[in-house]
Amino acid sequence: MIEQLKQEALRRGDRLQVVSIGRLSALKHEIDFFINTADLNSFQKWIVGNLYKFELPSVDFSIQSIIMVAIPHPAYAKVGFIRNGKAYNLMSNIMSDFERSENYLLDFLTPMNHHIVAAPNLPLKRLAVHSGLAAYGRNNITYVDGLGSFLSYAAYFSDVPCNDSEWTEVRLSERCTHCDICLNKCPTNAIRKDTFLIDNERCLSYLNENPGEWPEWLPLSAHHCVYDCLKCQIVCPMNRGFASNIVESIKFSEEETDILLSGRGFDTYSDVLKHKTSVLGINNWLAAIPRNLSILFELIDDHKEIHL
Ligand code: SF4
Ligand code: SF4
């Protein structure tokens, strides 16, 4: 059954592992230990203390396992904006198609009278590594064999039986042992040599997904993406062959660009604009997008190079 499920995911281009629900308490203990012993910054404390949840949901089936799915997406999308008649070509992250993956899981499991319910607040990267699905890179990104790191995880509580499951110790990929390419490429010095726990309060993705003033120490040359940051993944040797998978062009009209710059709410968007921003994931960070676009437009107006 589990093997069939893995094959179905593979056939769809994803990768999948199933973990026994008995592993959940070990994972919680590990995170509790981590909270008490690691030197965490306030964002890391918020993640482990507030974002992660280990309680089982109330459902009308007996939860026996956690299904982890790694869902790839292109490395990035080239995106075009128009402001005051001038075209601006930028880069944006792009989302995995979670709905497609959930639909094939349901199509596979429902006829067998099995069920799933989303488990979005588990520590997904750590669970992926423990499950044997992934390994950590020095940049705190996880890498899956055959997919690289341009992916997102979906986790589900399920009643698929799983008495025992792989439980790999959390570790740094062997590929990182003699490599520091990402460390040297990081524009904010967020990556550390001695641990794969980065200083995520310095990470550009933390800074540009939150609205507000840029910190004074952040160089303007760091900005290159509508949100998030691609630099440590693009240069990583473990992404060779995956970094060139790019969506060529998603264009925003001048009117759509103005709407994004205005900070208007998502519910006021046209269906076309809703679709484009959702595909790119821009809709998740709308409060920060006007500032991010403004700085990128300004860099281009000042003839500064924006590159990965
Ligand atoms: S760039 Fe090198 S050190 Fe960084 S994650 Fe990739 S392999 Fe590891
Ligand atoms: S995402 Fe960007 S800022 Fe964050 S660690 Fe990687 S290179 Fe550095």
Is residue 197 over pLDDT 90? Answer: no
User: Residues 6 or more apart from 267 whose CB is under 8 A from it?
Assistant: none
User: What would you report as the CA-atom Rg of the chain, rounded to the nearest whole angstrom?
Assistant: 20
Strands (E), 137-237: 142-144, 151-158
CA of 175 to the centre of ligand 1 (A): 7
C-alpha span between 33 and 139 (Å, rounded): 22
**pTM for the whole thing?**
0.93
Is residue 187 over pLDDT 80? Answer: yes
Residue identifier of the C-alpha nearest atom 8 of ligand 1: 176
Cβ of 289 below 6 Å from ligand 1: no
Cβ of 184 below 6 Å from ligand 1: no
- Give pLDDT, residue 194: 80
Higher pLDDT, 171 or 189: 189
Span 244-292, pLDDT tens digits: 999 998 999 999 999 999 999 999 999 999 999 999 999 999 999 999 9
Higher pLDDT, 97 or 166: 97
- Give pLDDT, residue 151: 98
Is residue 163 over pLDDT 80? Answer: yes
Span 83-133, pLDDT tens digits: 999 999 999 999 999 999 999 999 999 999 999 999 999 999 999 999 999
Instruction: Identify the CA nearest to 260 among candidates 78, 79, 74.
Output: 79
Phi, psi of 271 (to 5 degrees): -60, -35
C-alpha span between 85 and 297 (Å, rounded): 13
- Confirm if 192 and 167 have CB atoms less than 8 A apart: no
Pocket test for ligand 1, best of 140, 144, 173 (most atoms within 8 A of CB): 173
Cβ of 225 below 6 Å from ligand 2: no
- Share the mean pLDDT of the chain: 93
The pLDDT confidence band at residue 32, using thresholds 50, 70 and 90, is confident
- Confirm if 181 and 235 have CB atoms less than 8 A apart: yes
- Give pLDDT, residue 33: 85
- Axis-axis angle for helices 254-262, 289-301 (nearest 10): 120
C-alpha span between 60 and 169 (Å, rounded): 33
CA of 303 to the centre of ligand 1 (A): 31
Judged by DSSP in three states, 80 sits in strand
What are the residue boundaries of the structural domains of the chain, listed by start? 2-301
Residue identifier of the C-alpha nearest atom 4 of ligand 2: 203
**Residue 39: CB atoms within 10 Å:** 7
Cβ of 176 below 6 Å from ligand 1: yes
CA of 103 to the centre of ligand 1 (A): 34
C-alpha span between 71 and 14 (Å, rounded): 5
Is residue 43 over pLDDT 90? Answer: no
C-alpha span between 283 and 26 (Å, rounded): 35
**Residue 271: CB atoms within 10 Å:** 7
CA of 230 to the centre of ligand 2 (A): 7
Helix boundaries (H) for the chain: 2-11, 23-37, 42-46, 98-109, 124-130, 181-185, 204-208, 231-234, 254-262, 271-280, 289-301
- Give pLDDT, residue 42: 85
- If you average pLDDT over residues 156-176, what whole number do you get? 90
C-alpha span between 181 and 194 (Å, rounded): 14
- If you average pLDDT over residues 162-189, what whole number do you get? 90
CA of 281 to the centre of ligand 1 (A): 25
Query: Would you call 184 exposed, middle or buried from its count of C-beta atoms within 10 A (0-12, 13-18, 19+)?
Result: exposed
The pLDDT confidence band at residue 218, using thresholds 50, 70 and 90, is very high
Enter the tokens of residue 241.
């062959």
C-alpha span between 181 and 275 (Å, rounded): 35
Q: Is 241 left (phi over 0), alpha (psi -120 to 50) or beta?
A: left
